[in-house]
Chains A and B, each alone.
Chain A
Amino acid sequence: MDYSPTLLPLLIVGAAALIAFLADALRLGRLMPWLGGISSIAAAASIFVEHMALGADLYWDLSATLLGVYLGLAMAAGLFFITFHPLSRKMTGSLVGLLLTMLAGSLILVSAQNLLLMFVGLELQVLPFFALLAWPGSGRAAVESAFKYAVLAGLASAQFAIGIALIYLGDGSLAVIPPMGDMTSNVFGLMGVLALLAALSFEIAAAPFHAWVADIYQGAPAPFLIFLGGVAKVAIMGALITLAAATPKLEIPIAVIAATSIVVGNVLAYRAGHLRRMLGYSAIAHAGYFLAALAVGPLGIIAGAIYALVYGLMNMGTFMGLSALPENSIAIPWAALRERQPVLAGLLGLTLLSLAGMPPSIGFFAKLLVIIADVHDQAYWLAILIALGSAFSFAYYLSTLWKPSVLSNPDRLLQRRSWETFAALGILILLFGWLLAPLGMG
């Protein structure tokens, strides 16, 4: 096979993953997060250089480049972050290898223009999580959540495979943009695309495919949720963007899923009463806001890409903050956290506000863009639904901010000086990230 420049980021990440897997045997595990981080940054840089390059079945178009660069940098930040977490002490090399495999899958997902390649990306991304969610040292609840994730993700993968088969049955092509017409030009294709949509909706936990999400968020260790929420979900959103951009007929089913998700997510999150479960349920609502962007044509595709990026950033911030807390905390002990990690506490508070859509954080601007896209396409009802959902979400996000919670033993809070730097950077990005917008649009 000829060398294609679009493959370069994947080659970098793949090679680093292989080295990382070997490193445990050579007792070099402690170095691997740094190697992984640097290679992720290198992958991001090569994506940035190669943008708009059309290769064999991989296309770094505008949204794919944006998300690809983000995924590389987010993975690097996440790797540097968990180096300081006790969970990464055991088998560090394998841990990094799995995470890099997941990154490779994510990069394939955002840039693939071929259904089979997309499936490979999906599997590469989902399989490492079976192991990661139940990583040694993370407790019984984590094993349970990993098992649930495995069963349900397997189901979704099967559905994705069926979708591919149906589409192939219909027009004999595996390209996302087939040579003639689009994937929905016949009834098999339509069924197949709907199956793909269902499978991907499952992965981003859009209603009515949301049943798994709260259990996973509750049980899984927070450091790995950084990657599940901040990398994996963004990549799935990237695949959805590719799919929605290629098949205009999907707009109506996407709009329906979006509306259901916004309503279901907000109601469930309001009633959750448990910090992690609330975050899980609110992820449903966020999937809804994202899909509401995709439901409205070309401007919506841009809005969706930016929403995915911003959502990833907010998730990273949230779970970086939660990594310092004991795993089973049902509310945030603000007093203790402010005492020990003041900047990280600030980051956590800010991301919660940003998730709710408080201006001038980037969460607000992302929602604004989605509302503009919806209004532009005259989908007023979606815009109003987003507005109401967002207003309602303040009720539960803010109640986590002001719910009094006392930690019985403050020593169970992790204290890491180096995390404060991450947190300061995160605060800058969340508060002033929108100032970078002119660079992207200029």
Chain B
Amino acid sequence: MILVTVLIVLPWVAALWLSAQKQSGQYFAMSIALLELLLALIQRFAPGASGTLGHALHIPYLGSLWTLHAGPLGSTLALLCALLIPVSLAFAWRLPEFRALASAVLVMSGALFGIFFAQNVLMFYIFYEILALAGAFMILRSGHKSRAAALQFLLYTFVGSLLFLVALVVVYVLHGQQTGIYNFSILQLADTRITGGLGIWLFLGMVAGLAVKMPLFPLHSWAGSGYGNAAPAGSVFLSGAAVTAGAYGLIHFAIPMLPQAALEFAPVGIILGAIGTLYGAFLALNAANLRLFAAWASVSHMNLVALGLFALQTQAIHGSVFLLIAHGVVSAGLFGVVSIMESRGLTGEWSGLGGLFRRAPRLGAWMLFFFLAGMGLPGMANFPGEFLSLAGAFRVLPWAAGLATLGILAGVVYFLRAYERIMLGPLNGTLPDNLVDLQQGEWLLFWVLGLLTLWLGLDPQIILAHLGTLLSIHSGDVIAGGGHGL
């Protein structure tokens, strides 16, 4: 209880302190980030630190607003998030807007820890909103400092999440009317009986709130402007860690609350995911610059995650959770490469790139590594996830899964094409003469991410072995007794 509370509150206190300072405070932020990583490691691997951890802040009719519960899925995603804080800060190290970016990342990470350990759905919602606000703040204050992009991100996420809130309140009121217990705890709400047509509407409301963060296909268009305008170092965190909140909310809250509706929605979800995978790949193929390329590649992968989730089939869900984690690491690597290139004064427009490998071979090698990982090369992190989610989805809705597979194939094309444009070919005349290759610290960062990618790819069992218990009991029932007859 205390450990997790510290995990959640500490980054917020640090962000508050940081924003009151005059200097930019790199070392302070980094030490907080490493401390968080340590705490998350202890939380994940210490014995006895799972199950319901405690209650506080009891409000009549709303339940205890500070109810912490540590499940394997939440703890693992928290570990991923804790890992990406120092990575993202390190990529942002020399940016002039480091302080604003670090505050935003710290606030977001506190909110994410809150999301991953919340038992009370209202508590989850509160952290989810804070996450969105901090994300908008980061888009506003870093990179291109685009107000329009921040506003678009904010409106997408807030309209979605308020619809989620309305759907949640309907479930809460129904549960109260059925049992007389008015409480927002998921353990209570998962027992609500919801009949027929209403359920599907409620599930749509919840999907609107949660899938917009993933981002699922028709709700994805904030991603281009958001990732495209924030500093790439911030996008590392935004695309790697923040998007997991939506998927976690679906697995841990929406599906257990409305299992029947989830089954009815499943085909639609799979189709949307498949379209999104293909469409994301198409957008990445035609992306105007490197940032957008990385953004759409991430969107394409996240839609594959959604496809696996909505298949509601054991194999597919395992695959999609694995891909969620793998995507976090690989996407951090991709945006890291973008960040390094921008720190060298390269704009990321295709016209200004080409033949870079001759100038910066180490960067070129690492870029190739992460591009290969993004393509889903066997032996690297994405492959087991992609394979399992598609294999599972094939058993539910073969043609949609086939469509998504085309998206994966397109992935090979767009990654290789982008690599060719950036690294190969004749040396672009507009490149600066004294281009610095990777330096000591940057190299170390890529080694960490690279080894993690390889480890996840070569030994997927470290995650998959725990997945039997990863999903909460309620959603486990849904999947095991799934209506697909599998």
B147 to chain A, nearest CB (A): 7
Contact among B125, B161, B166 for A375, CB-based, below 8 A: B166
A426 to chain B, nearest CB (A): 17
A350 to chain B, nearest CB (A): 12
B162 adjacent to A380 (CB under 8 Å): no
Contact among B129, B159, B166, B169 for A358, CB-based, below 8 A: B129
Dominant SS among interface residues on chain B: helix
Of the candidate stretches A16-24, A63-71, A149-157, A386-394, the one touching chain B is A386-394
Residue A256 interfacial (CB < 8 Å) = no
Residue numbers in A under 8 Å from B158 (CB-CB): 390-391, 394
Residue A253 interfacial (CB < 8 Å) = no
Give the size category of A's interface with B.
20 to 34
A266 to chain B, nearest CB (A): 12
A380 adjacent to B163 (CB under 8 Å): no
Contact among B58, B140, B155, B172 for A392, CB-based, below 8 A: B155
User: With A359-B130, A371-B169 in contact, is A395–B151 under 8 Å at CB?
Assistant: yes
A394 adjacent to B140 (CB under 8 Å): no
- Closest-by-CB residue of A relative to B172 is A372
Give the size category of B's interface with A.
20 to 34
**B-facing mask of A428-440, CB < 8 A → 1, else 0?**
0000001101100
- Closest-by-CB residue of A relative to B163 is A387
B126 adjacent to A376 (CB under 8 Å): no
Residue numbers in A under 8 Å from B58 (CB-CB): 438
Residue A368 interfacial (CB < 8 Å) = yes
Contact among A359, A372, A398, A442 for B129, CB-based, below 8 A: A359
Residue numbers in A under 8 Å from B169 (CB-CB): 368, 371-372, 375, 383
**How many A-B Cβ pairs are below 8 Å?**
72
In the bound complex, what is the Cα–Cα distance between A88 and B129 (angstroms)? 41
Residue B377 interfacial (CB < 8 Å) = no
- Closest-by-CB residue of B relative to A359 is B126
In the bound complex, what is the Cα–Cα distance between A394 and B129 (angstroms)? 12
Dominant SS among interface residues on chain A: helix
Residue A384 interfacial (CB < 8 Å) = yes
B60 adjacent to A442 (CB under 8 Å): yes
A399 adjacent to B151 (CB under 8 Å): yes
Residue numbers in A under 8 Å from B155 (CB-CB): 391-392, 394-395
In the bound complex, what is the Cα–Cα distance between A387 and B147 (angstroms)? 23
In the bound complex, what is the Cα–Cα distance between A394 and B147 (angstroms)? 13
A394 to chain B, nearest CB (A): 5
**A-facing mask of B142-173, CB < 8 A → 1, else 0?**
00000100110011001101110110011011
In the bound complex, what is the Cα–Cα distance between A271 and B196 (angstroms)? 41
13 more A-B residue pairs beyond the given contacts A402-B147, A434-B59, with a C-beta to C-beta distance below 8 A: A358-B130, A359-B125, A368-B165, A375-B166, A375-B170, A376-B173, A387-B165, A388-B162, A391-B162, A392-B155, A399-B147, A402-B150, A435-B59
A-B CB proximity, top 9 nearest: A387-B162, A359-B126, A391-B158, A391-B159, A441-B60, A391-B162, A375-B169, A375-B173, A387-B166
